[in-house]
Amino acid sequence: MEKLTERQNSNESSLSSSVPSVVSPSCEDVIPDLNFTTVRKWKDQHPGAKAIGYFPVYAPLEIIHACGMLPVGLNGAGDQLDIQYADARFGSFICSIVKTTLEMGMTKHLTPFDGLLFSTICDSARNLAFVFKRNFPEQYVDFLHLPHNPSSEASVDFLMSEYARLQENLEQLGGTKLTDAALNESIELYNENRRLTRRLYDERDGNPQLMRTSELYALIRAGNFLPVEEHTKLLKQAVDELPTRAGKQRDSIRVVIEGSFCEQPPVDLIKIMEEAGCYIVDDDFVLGPRWFTKDVSVNGNPMRALADAYSNASVYSSMPHDWRNPRHKQLIEKARRRKADAVILLIAKFCEPAYFDYVLFKQELEKEGIPHLLMEFEEKMFTFERLRTEIETFVESLLFD
């Protein structure tokens, strides 16, 4: 392993304290804020305007934005909330994000939201939508049926009809008619945001010693709570500041993280992985806001452009089943492109889609001879000693192979 040997020559064994942070500390502060201060502030600044919370993974943010509303990604409550009510409405073997999202509703943390949007991921998420509908009959709760098979010829028209239904409901809720011009403007704003995000991912891949993944993660995840215009400014600032950074190579292996597409791991867990000797060079964290792999077209019917992008330019994930390019093949392609030494399958406890995919991923990784490690997390965990030991052992086994 030539690359690993090169890195072993470095004296730097921990994150360099000389590296200044490109990310405002407020990004990390926004993530656990269950009062949704940024959302309340936006609503104060835009009297009468509505905020729509959406459950991971994907939502058509452009349509919500073009209706004059603030789309807000809901990522559960982390370790901020004890479950008192949600347990009575769900069985025991359910992932944490489903329970804490419902708990946020039951404890009135979701009052800044005028509507909640769910979509097709798994049985738990689908049931959560209808548990919300039953428990909050006065609230607008919608469920978006996303095509499972984007390679089907019918998927674009089907999704357009779902978007049209959502548009009608949002227009009714907000009292504003959506125009093609407004939707194209929103698409351009989100295209720019995604372009900058892709740029930061590529920069980190090229120079992982210059940007910690824990920083990038906080920066991207903060975008769930901020207006896209504001978040794009932060991304630009991060891109502009990167060349001013300095950082020495560390004794680290390059890893791709896979499996955290819905419930999100605690920031501290990502920090521990980095301290243990991982350069995380790609991941599937906070996938919704960076859903498209290229710009969505703004020349033509914007609804069709969005539906077409969903079918033909989505990131791979455990949601749609794209037989044209199966996700286990795409994981291998990603690991090769990022020159990864290993893949860490970081899966939320009780996440059925991720565990179903684990079987496929494991088979393919073994076939390709790519080392891999399965780690399970919960968003609410706050002690990481067992996981620290697992990851340190894994890293050492590769570094000193």
Strand ranges for 6-106 from DSSP E: 51-54, 70-73
Among the residue ranges 117-125, 177-185, 332-340, 391-399, the one whose residues contact ligand SF4 (CB under 6 A): 117-125
Looking at residues 187 to 216 of the shown chain, list those that interact with ligand SF4 (rule: CB under 6 A): none
Q: Please identify the residue of the shown chain whose CB is closest to the bound ligand SF4.
A: 262
Q: Whose Cβ is closer to ligand SF4: residue 121's or residue 309's? A: 121
Q: Whose Cβ is closer to ligand SF4: residue 252's or residue 318's? A: 318
Least distance (Å) between residue 303 CB and ligand SF4: 26
Least distance (Å) between residue 6 CB and ligand SF4: 37
| Selected binder of ligand SF4 within 117, 121, 234, 269 (CB under 6 A) | 121
Among the residue ranges 192-200, 213-221, 305-313, 344-352, the one whose residues contact ligand SF4 (CB under 6 A): 344-352
Going 110 to 113 to 117 to 121, the CA torsion angle's sign is: negative
Query: What residue spans of 344-384 are helical by DSSP H?
Result: 352-368
- Contact between 104 and ligand SF4 per CB under 6 A: no
Q: Whose Cβ is closer to ligand SF4: residue 66's or residue 122's? A: 122
Q: Whose Cβ is closer to ligand SF4: residue 227's or residue 320's? A: 320
Looking at residues 123 to 182 of the shown chain, list those that interact with ligand SF4 (rule: CB under 6 A): 124-125
Least distance (Å) between residue 126 CB and ligand SF4: 9
For the beta carbon of residue 378, count every other beta carbon within 10 angstroms. 21
Alpha-carbon gap, residue 63 to 84, rounded angstroms? 35
Beta-strand pair 253-258/51-54:
unpaired
Q: Give which of 49, 16, 60 is closest to 296, Cα–Cα.
A: 60
Q: Whose Cβ is closer to ligand SF4: residue 124's or residue 224's? A: 124
Among the residue ranges 92-100, 159-167, 251-259, 282-290, the one whose residues contact ligand SF4 (CB under 6 A): 92-100
- Contact between 352 and ligand SF4 per CB under 6 A: yes
| Selected binder of ligand SF4 within 51, 70, 95, 346 (CB under 6 A) | 95
Give the SS3 label for residue 205: helix
Going 264 to 269 to 273 to 274, the CA torsion angle's sign is: positive
Residue 202 CA: distances (Å) to CA of 131, 208, 274, 291, 330:
40, 10, 18, 16, 17
Which amino acid is located at 319 in the chain? M
Among the residue ranges 18-26, 269-277, 288-296, 352-360, the one whose residues contact ligand SF4 (CB under 6 A): 352-360
Least distance (Å) between residue 78 CB and ligand SF4: 13
Beta-strand pair 342-348/70-73:
unpaired
Greatest alpha-carbon pair distance for the chain in Å reads 63
| Selected binder of ligand SF4 within 61, 253, 348, 365 (CB under 6 A) | 348
For residue 399, give both structure tokens.
């570094």
Looking at residues 250 to 279 of the shown chain, list those that interact with ligand SF4 (rule: CB under 6 A): 262-263
For residue 331, give both structure tokens.
């994981």
Q: Give which of 340, 224, 218, 239 is closest to 282, Cα–Cα.
A: 340
Least distance (Å) between residue 354 CB and ligand SF4: 6
Alpha-carbon gap, residue 280 to 208, rounded angstroms? 7
Contact indicator for 199, 93 with CB cutoff of 8 Å:
no
Among the residue ranges 118-126, 149-157, 232-240, 307-315, the one whose residues contact ligand SF4 (CB under 6 A): 118-126
| Selected binder of ligand SF4 within 269, 309, 345, 351 (CB under 6 A) | 351
128-142: string of b/e by CB count within 10 Å (b at 16+)? bbebbbeeeeeebbb
Alpha-carbon gap, residue 34 to 19, rounded angstroms? 30
Q: Whose Cβ is closer to ligand SF4: residue 7's or residue 221's? A: 221
- Contact between 346 and ligand SF4 per CB under 6 A: no
Q: Which residues bind ligand SF4 (CB under 6 A)?
A: 95, 97-98, 121-122, 124-125, 262-263, 348, 351-354
